[in-house]
Amino acid sequence: MQYISTRGGMTPQPFSETLLEGLAPDGGLAVPERMPRVDAATLESWRGLSYPELATEVLGLFATDIPRGDLARMTAAAYAGFPEPVVPLRPIGGGITLVGLSEGPTLAFKDMAMQFLGQVLEYVLEKKDSVLNILGATSGDTGSAAEHALRGKERVAVFMLSPQGRMSPFQRAQMYSLHDENVHNIAVEGVFDDCQNLVKELAGDLDFKRAQHLGAVNSINLARITAQTVYYFWAWLRATDALESPQGFEVSFTVPSGNFGNILSGLFAKGIGVPIRRLVLAANENNVLDEFFRTGVYRPRSAAETLATSSPSMDISKASNLERFIFELLGRDPQRVVAAWRDLDEQGFFDLSAEQPRFTGEFGILSGTSTHADRLATIRSVHEASGELIDPHTADGVKVAREHLEEGVPMLVLETAKPEKFSETITEATGLRVALGDDLAAMLDAPQRVTEMADDAAALRAFIEARALR
C-alpha cells in the first residue's frame, strides 16, 4: 500500500514515511493510492477479536510496510491502559447508543488514535535513528492526548499551539500541568484557526521543516485517521452481535465534528466495507461544515467570526481534513482539488453545489447544527432518561442524531469526552456537580507551564529553533 498527495505532487510513499511528513511536500494531504477492501466473510471473522487484535487487522490494511508482529505489539501497548472493553457501547434510549471513546488517559476520543500514534512514531524513529519535532494545534483535546502519548519520549519533542482563553479550565490543566522537557505549550493570541494557520505556514516552508525535523499529530497525520477507522469496525461488530444474520446489516453514525477527521475515518470504514447507511455530521454554532453539506458551498469564517462556545473543541472554521473528502468527491483529480483551494484563497469560498446531491447519495453524509441551548436541553434529557451524563460535544451529536433517526436502523453516536472535562456546562444543564477523583483534582491545582505568544510566525520559528531536537 502506497500513499499519494491530494494535490498530486508527492512521489508515492509507504505508510511509515507519511507519518513523519504531516503535510505532503506540495501542501496536500496523504491518502491511499487505493482504498483497501474487506468482504463480509472477513469482517465476520473479526467478530471475536479483542480491540487491540481488531486494530492490528484494520491497521494492517494500511501499514503494509510494518511487519504484522510489530504492529500487534504496538496495538497491544497502545490500549494496555484502557479498561475492558476498550470501547463500550451504551444505549441511552430513543433508539440511540453511545460509542464510548473516552476511556483513555485524557478522557477524550483523541486518545484512541494518539496512543497508537505515540507507539508507531517511536518505532519508525528508532528504525531510522532519527528525531521528530511535532508542531500541532489544538482546540482542546488533541493537545492533551498528544502530549500524554508522547511525553518523555527521547526522540520526539512536542510544540503544541492552543488559543488563549478558548479552552475549558480542565483542558488547559491537562496540557499546561505537564512539565516534561520534551513538551512545549504555546498559547497563541487568537482562535484555533490562527493556530492551525501557523502550523500550515511553517509546515509549508520545506527548508525550515526539514532543518527542524517538523512533523504533525493533528488529524492531518494519516495514522490518526487510520487508527480512528478501527472503532467504526468495532462498533458495527458490537451493535450486530445479537443478530442471527448480521452480514450487510446497516447502522448509522452521528459524529460531532470540527476538523472533519473523525467523520472522515467513518468514510474510510464505509469505503473499506463496514455496512454504514448514514454518517451524520453534528456541528455547533461554528457550522461551516453543516452549511457546506447542505449547500455545497464552503465558506470558512474569519477568526473574528469564529464563536467561543460551550463545545470548544469544535470551535473551528476551517476543517483541515475536508481536503481528503474533496479529493474523493472530485474523482481523485489533484488539479480540481488545487483549483478549489485556489478559489478559496482568492474569493473566500468555493462552490461545489453541483456535486451536493452526491453528498447524501454516494457518500451517505447528512448534517445538522446544535446550539448552547440545545446542548443544555440534551444533556438534561439524556440524564433524566438514562442516568447518563454526557459532555457538551457528545450532546451536539445526540441532538443532531435525534433529527436523523430511521426506523430499523440503529443510530450510534460517537462519544467525544467525559463530562468531567466540562463540569460547568454539566452543572448548568442539570444542577449536578461532577465529582472529580483525587488525581483529577490534583491536576487542576497543579502549577501550569505555558508560553504566551502573539499570532506571529517569526516568533514561533525562533521558539522552535531554540528548543528543537536534532
Residues annotated as catalytic are 110
Rounded Cα distance, 405 and 390, in Å:
19
- Please state whether the peptide bond connecting residue 32 to the residue before it is cis, i.e. omega within 30 degrees of 0: no
Distances (CA, A) of 221 to 56, 182, 226, 228, 286: 18, 20, 9, 11, 23
Exposed/middle/buried for residue 347 (C-beta within 10 Å: 0-12, 13-18, 19+) = exposed
**C-alpha closest to that of 251 among 396, 412, 402:** 412
Q: Which three cell numbers stand for residue 340?
A: 478549489
Quote the strand ranges of 397-461, DSSP E: 411-414, 451-453
**Reduced to 3 states, what is the DSSP secondary structure of residue 7?**
coil
Biggest CA–CA distance in the chain, Å, is 61
Which amino acid is residue 281, in one-letter code? L
Q: Which three cell numbers stand for residue 85?
A: 472493553
Distances (CA, A) of 452 to 21, 148, 185, 190: 27, 21, 9, 11
Strand 183-188 to 156-163 pairing: parallel
**Continuous segment of H or E residues that includes residue 331:** none
